[in-house]
Structure 1
Amino acid sequence: MEMQRIMEFPDRIMDKRPRKKPRLTWDMHPPPQPQPPIPPPKVLPTTYHNQEVVNGVAPNHAYPSLFFRGLTRNGSPPWRPDDKDGHYVFAVGDSLTPRYRIIGKMGEGTFGQVLECFDNEKKEAVAIKVVRSINKYREAAMIEIDVLMRLARHDINGARCVQIRNWFDYRNHICIVFEKLGPSLYDFLRKNSYRSFPIDLVREFGRQLLESVAFMHDLCLIHTDLKPENILLVSSEFIKVPDYKFLSRAMKDGSYFKNLPKSSAIKLIDFGSTTFQHQDHSYVVSTRHYRAPEVILGIGWNYPCDLWSVGCILVELCSGEALFQTHENLEHLAMMERVLGPLPPHMIVRADRRADKYFRRGTRLGWPDSSTSRESMRAVWKLHRLPNLIMQHVDHSAGDLIDLLQRLLRYDPAERIKAKEALRHPFFSRDPKRHGYPL
């Protein structure tokens, strides 16, 4: 088997879902060696606060002031105004404080952008989340730091969630320093032309994901935004293997090969939406495709919403495509009923006034309605029932996986399986080697 750096494959399946801009980790060169320090330029005063994480465990104390005013430090670039959306404007080679030199951009989202930087003190590459200089995003970043510190204090080995290394306030941007990880599972699927992972690799991903969710729930934390983009491989290394589904056809573009991660180790990221169980819960959480029915119906949500997201993620890893590719609530509910059967009447009658309009005579989904397009109807009717969908993509362990998914995707959150219970499911106790299956 050939080992190589990730290369781009042609996208055979057009995925029009709204996504964060792709991480560019795979396309970046290795970090250069640190350069000798340059004389400090003359710039305007800047905001700077530094809070170190000691021995991988963040200290437990209140936040210092976000607006401590200090003098510019050696290596800082000339002052530049932010762009119109409050994003930090940078150039490759700039420094974020004298310690971190910018190598390139790894990704961007509504929160801000993630930069790959070289840590001149630790002599290693890191990922720095540079938050937009807008108050609501700064406040959300401070909540995320609180969550990250809580996770770091309890995740001693740092095996479940991305590790915070440091944070500081730089020119009105909260900057959170993380260990540098590999690509997200979504990026890996995208660069692999949305070809699914083998079932035994899905099993390993699922086990680690549920362990991380159980760990968070034990700490009274609800992630609320679980999706393939927020699950990162620890390593970027991969192997190229034959794709037997394509070997029967002579294809000139090399697509009869597919990539598999060399290591199955993963970590959760993006705790900007994470909620403490005792906090007030916002009305809508989760990215659309992974949003639980209780959220859409407005009947209240809690820990089980994370388990629904896990179920949607496992289906996507097995099939290569999101289970519910939709952008509208009524269509989303219709897709759920197409795949999982009718919604329970007792949940429908509890739906809040914003969700009442989706139902006729109180307990029947009003889809299609007069505004439903033919495209929407085709998108719903092409879906298969969950067992049939899984058996199209899984060659062994299909029965165990279907049973697990049916428990994760229970409509009623009170009946949905918990993370620790899911880890005891036969799907995870099955030994592929004992049954003669390749890993």
Structure 2
Amino acid sequence: TSATGWAPPLEVNSLLPSDCALYLVEKFLGEGTFGKVAKCRDLTTNQEVAIKITKPSHRDSGLFELNALAEITKLDADKYCLIKFLDWFEYRSHICIVYEMLDQSLHDFMNIREHRPLLIHEIRTIARELLISLKGLKEINMAHRDIKPDNIMLVNQASEPFRVKLIDFGLAINPTDMETGTFMQNLRYRAPEVILGLPLDERVDMWTVGYTLAWLYTGFHIHSVDSEYTVIRSLTMRQGIRCCLSYDDLKNFYQDKTKMREMLEIDPNKRITPEEALKHSFFTMEQPSADSEKSNSQESTSKKGHPQPEKTTVPQEPAAAPQEKSRSEIKDDEGEKSNTQAGSRKRKRSVEQSQDPEQPSLTEKAVKKSRIEIKEDIIQQEAAKSTTQSGSRKRKRGVEQNQDHDHCLQRESAVKKSRIESKEDVLQQQEAAKSNSPAGSRKRKRSVEQSQDPEPSPQTESPSKKRKTW
């Protein structure tokens, strides 16, 4: 039922409760510190709504949120990605605030997908809409002070993937009313200036948005959250004084995205604003146009091809000899050689010579002398090396020749031996054939007699016998 008997504060006069609204509670969606959220149905319009029911012990928190909604309703909720406020009433000391029905929070969404990181284009969509929300709140001088995945709702993941809205304005306040040392934000997403007790403003929300994007990309919290001390220690250990989200886990996401890194600057004065972040190429997806690239290339080529204006003011000199080049030609040649290392070395030498071409310095003479000595040492070493190598080669050739000569001798002796053995075999065969004949028997008899007297005198032997025995 609508609120009865309760006078709203002056700030919420524009949010007067309805007199005849009836809501049917279908189920409770969740419970927090200050109350519960129920899915209800408006019986007059048959529309599904979400009603935030504050606990009686936190009734002031409900009134505080109504005061913030009085300012937030000045903005277009759909345009600035904020939850749409519909109605409010009081029931048995419970402040009940009626909102549009949304899908689920980013915290629940990541739990369902087991904290698997999101893709870059998915994070881009969420980041753009969160920055639009911060921009809208800044226009009406409001700071949310409690941005976290639980307070970022997906509108309808089935029909509008990754379109989100910001909810829960129970801590929203004008930045000028924020006092130093005020306790705010979840410890995991708490800005450094809140922990250190420094002056506060709406830039605390930019820190939490940047940290939430990092959590969506990695799937885990990028520093310890045991206490405020561990949070600050983790930031200083990993990043030093400048916190730019340059962790190894996020280098692919934040590589060459300076503006995105500036969302997590420890110094709030260096932290990027929503307007500056929305103009970054990460969101605009702008690339340099072809005309600008062409003009830049033409300018660079013109600078390389044309001499500088200072050269035209130099007075003319007598014509040089045909074999000599003018200064401009030499510089053009040097410009062509600048792409190679040899050209760069020649250019360096020409610069040194242009300073004093006729009188080289003592250091140059010393360098040249040392280079000549080094070259002579190298030549001597190479000559000694060559002599030793030639001597070793000659010795090697001599050994090889000796081996070849011995091998040839062995081969020749083997051939001679085989020939002698073959001749002896032939002679034996012939003698065997002759021994079978009568003449052969007589010859055998004579050979036996000769064997008994192995040294006969040459006078007693006849010429015929000598020829036979030979």
Match of 2:272 among 401, 413, 417: 417
Deviation of residue 277 (structure 1)? 1.9
Q: Which amino acid aligns with 2:48?
A: A
Q: Which runs of 5+ in 2 are unaligned?
A: 290-470
* Larger Rg, first or second structure (1 or 2): 2
Which whole-Å CA distance do the structure 2 matches of 1:143 and 1:116 have between them?
22
Q: Which of residues 284, 288, 306 in structure 1 aligns to 2:187?
A: 288
Q: For residue 311 of structure 1, what is the aligned residue in structure 2?
A: 210
Which residues in structure 2 correspond to 1:28-427 (within 5 Å)?
Answer: 48=4, 61=13, 99-134=22-57, 137-155=58-76, 157=78, 159-237=80-158, 262-281=160-179, 283-342=182-241, 386-391=246-251, 394=252, 398-401=254-257, 403-427=258-282
Q: Following superposition, which runs of at least 4 residues in structure 1 exceed 6 angstroms of deviation?
A: 49-52
Equivalent position amino acid for 2:225 in 1: T
Higher helix share: 2
Shift of 1:236: 4.0
Q: Distance in 2 between matches of 1:155 and 1:50?
A: 28
CA contact 2:21–2:44 (8 Å) conserved in 1? no
Please give the alpha-carbon distance, in whole angstroms, between the structure 2 residues aligned to 1:61 and 1:172.
19
Paired residue type of 2:269? A
Work out whether residues 131 and 138 of structure 1, in 8 Å CA contact, stay in contact via their aligned partners in 2: yes
Q: 1:49 to 1:198 in 2, by over 3 A?
A: farther
407-416 or 149-158, larger mean C-alpha shift:
149-158
Distance 1:280 1:404, change over 3 A: closer
SS in 2 for 1:386: coil
Quick check: 2:15–2:70 contact (8 Å CA) kept in 1? no
Q: CA deviation at 1:50?
A: 9.4
| DSSP-derived class of the 1:117 partner | strand
* C-alpha contact (below 8 Å) 1:50/1:166 kept by paired residues: no
> What is the Cα deviation at residue 154 of structure 1?
2.0
Report the CA distance shift for 1:101/1:152 in structure 2 as closer, same or farther (over 3 A): same
Residue identity matched to 1:121: T
Q: How far did 1:105 drift?
A: 0.6
The secondary structure found in structure 1 opposite 2:236 is helix
For residue 407 of structure 1, what is the amino acid of its counterpart? E
Task: Tell me: CA distance 1:428–1:50, structure 2 relative to 1, closer, same or farther (3 Å).
Answer: farther
- The alignment partner of 1:283 has SS state of coil
Q: Structure 1: 5+ residue runs without aligned partners?
A: 1-44, 53-58, 67-72, 74-96, 239-261, 345-383, 435-439
Q: CA separation in 2, counterparts of 1:131 and 1:430?
A: 43
Q: When you count strand as a share of all residues, which structure comes out higher?
A: 1
Q: Any idea what the Cα deviations from partners look like across 1:219-269, whole Å, max 9, x if unmatched?
A: 11011111111110101428xxxxxxxxxxxxxxxxxxxxxxx52211000
SS class of match (1:147): helix
Which amino acid in the other structure matches residue 165 of structure 2?
K
Cα pair 2:105 2:152 within 8 Å, conserved: yes
Tell me which moved more, 175-184 or 276-285.
276-285
User: Could you report, residue by residue, the CA deviation over 1:195-234 in whole angstroms, capped at 9, with x for unpaired residues?
Assistant: 0111011011101100100110111101111111111010
- The CA distance in 2 between the partners of 1:139 and 1:169, in whole Å, is 12
Contact 2:151 2:168 in 1 (8 A): yes
Task: Identify the residue that residue 283 of structure 2 maps to in structure 1.
Answer: 428
Aligned CA RMSD, in angstroms, stands at 3.1
Q: CA deviation at 1:405?
A: 3.5
- Tell me if structure 1 keeps the 8 A contact 2:144–2:171: yes
Matched with 1:256 is none
Contact 1:104 1:117 in 2 (8 A): yes
Deviation at 1:188, TM superposition (A): 0.7
| Pair 1:48–1:400, CA change in 2 (3 A) | farther
Percent of paired sites with the same residue: 29
